[in-house]
Structure 1
Amino acid sequence: MSHRVRPAVPSDLDSAARVLAAAFDRYPWTRWALPEDRYAERLEEIQRLYLGHALDHGIVLVDDQVRAVAAFLPPDTPAPAERIQQRIVELHGSRLAALSALPRPDPPAGCWTLETAGVDPAHQGSGLGTAVTAEGLAMLDQQGASAALETSDKRNVRLYQRLGFATAATTTIPDGPIVYSMTRNPQSR
């Protein structure tokens, strides 16, 4: 089945954040990184903040009905504005100290990062996630750009391997998930 993928526009961001919040509701990383108190609200707001930053500085792709989203950032992306950083700190709340202390590998120099990709749970398994992610990777391939990502769901590792990623490092988070750091060289078409 072919899915139409397009660049997101500002009016897509609220819907895209809801999609990501639903997709990441049980995701090991977000369950570890965000406090349980008002978890769903925190998750949706943090996704909205990160998507807005990605729309301003990178590539955000959605399908026509905004059931899937993928966001990529270039290696030279500036930090979010101070007010956004402060809100992110507030959303992480009591988890911030543990999050800040994590020893995770940096992506290779010059790599774009796949910051997030998710599909509305009602449409998972339909190829939408692959469609939005593959479209972004094709755009990076045209630039000759490498990509990196992190995932804490073992099932995602197989998906990303099919898209050309290889596991570069595995980090076990104390009292948390295993994080798979993956990289991808540009592919020729």
Structure 2
Amino acid sequence: MSYSFRIRPATSRDAAVAAQTLGRAFADYPFTRHTVDARDHQDRVLALQRLFLAEIGLRCGKVWVSDDVAAVAVWTTPLSTGLDAAFGEIAEQVTDLYGDRADVAARADEATAHLRPTDPVWYLATVGVAPTSQGRGLGRAVLEPELAAAEDHGRAAYLETSSPANVAFYERLGFEVTGSVSLPDDGPKVWAMVRRPRTAAGRVS
């Protein structure tokens, strides 16, 4: 069976629906379950996704969606500006949304810090497909524009995942595992993955 869909850059008008898509996609994600308060967990995950989309993805990075916003991918890139200020502005809200898992989330971030590349990379912050739309190739499709951009600039793409099934999916897209860590506080395992450019003759401008 073949499917037809269009992938396009997101706008601010997509933020609410895109957050809903990501909230549903991450409802039982191991990392999110570990780092976000179990009380009103789904509402907190939705609020975190909405905040990140509006203040980081749309403001500083790149956000791609399917035309029906059933698939969403959020990136930051070496071309992104204002990230430090944007993260600083939302830090208190993020901590509040983590709730009683805020310290756990902080330790998780510290535990994964050594996995991240020191060179500028295309960083896949989050990607999700609504459960009812999975199996149509939307996950791959919504990632392709920025994977191509990273390739054009001769830069690697980087991500972290706590889902073993995701590891296999990203390997099919050309990523390879470069490290892993089991999170403290009885947390899940996190894999770091890099997709290296096929040619080093790129540019960043």
Q: Same fold (TM over 0.5)?
A: yes
Partner residue, 1:87: 93
Pick the aligned partner of 1:72 from 64, 75, 100. Answer: 75
Identify unmatched segments of 5+ residues in structure 1.
none
Q: Which amino acid aligns with 1:166?
A: E
2:74 touches 2:126 (CA, 8 Å); kept in 1? yes
Q: Which amino acid aligns with 1:185?
A: R
2:19 touches 2:50 (CA, 8 Å); kept in 1? yes
TM-score by length of 1: 0.94
3-state SS of 2:194 partner:
strand
Provide Cα deviations, 1:100-143, integer angstroms capped at 9, x if missing partner: 12311242121121000100000111110110012221122122
Offset of residue 3 of structure 1: 2.7
Partner residue, 1:43: 45
Partner residue, 2:162: 152
Pick the aligned partner of 1:134 from 134, 139, 144. Answer: 144
Offset of residue 2 of structure 1: 4.1
Q: Residues 64 and 16 (structure 1 numbering): CA distance in 2 closer, same or farther, change over 3 Å? A: same
The runs of at least 4 aligned residues of structure 1 exceeding 2 Å deviation read 79-83
1:109-120 matches, cutoff 5 A:
109-120=119-130
TM-score by length of 2: 0.87
3-state SS of 2:197 partner:
coil
Provide Cα deviations, 1:54-81, integer angstroms capped at 9, x if missing partner: 1111110000010000011024652225
1:134 touches 1:163 (CA, 8 Å); kept in 2? no
3-state SS of 2:120 partner:
coil
The two structures, once aligned, show a CA RMSD in angstroms of 1.5
Quick one: distance in 2 between partners of 1:67 and 1:24? Answer: 13
Q: Which amino acid aligns with 1:183?
A: V
Partner residue, 2:32: 30
3-state SS of 2:31 partner:
helix
Offset of residue 155 of structure 1: 0.4
1:53-64 matches, cutoff 5 A:
53-64=56-67
1:149-188 matches, cutoff 5 A:
149-174=159-184, 175-187=186-198
Identify unmatched segments of 5+ residues in structure 2.
200-205
Partner residue, 2:202: none
1:54 touches 1:73 (CA, 8 Å); kept in 2? yes
2:161 touches 2:167 (CA, 8 Å); kept in 1? yes
1:13-24 matches, cutoff 5 A:
13-24=15-26
3-state SS of 2:187 partner:
coil
Percent identity of paired positions between Structure 1 and Structure 2: 38
Quick one: distance in 1 between partners of 2:94 and 2:53? Answer: 13
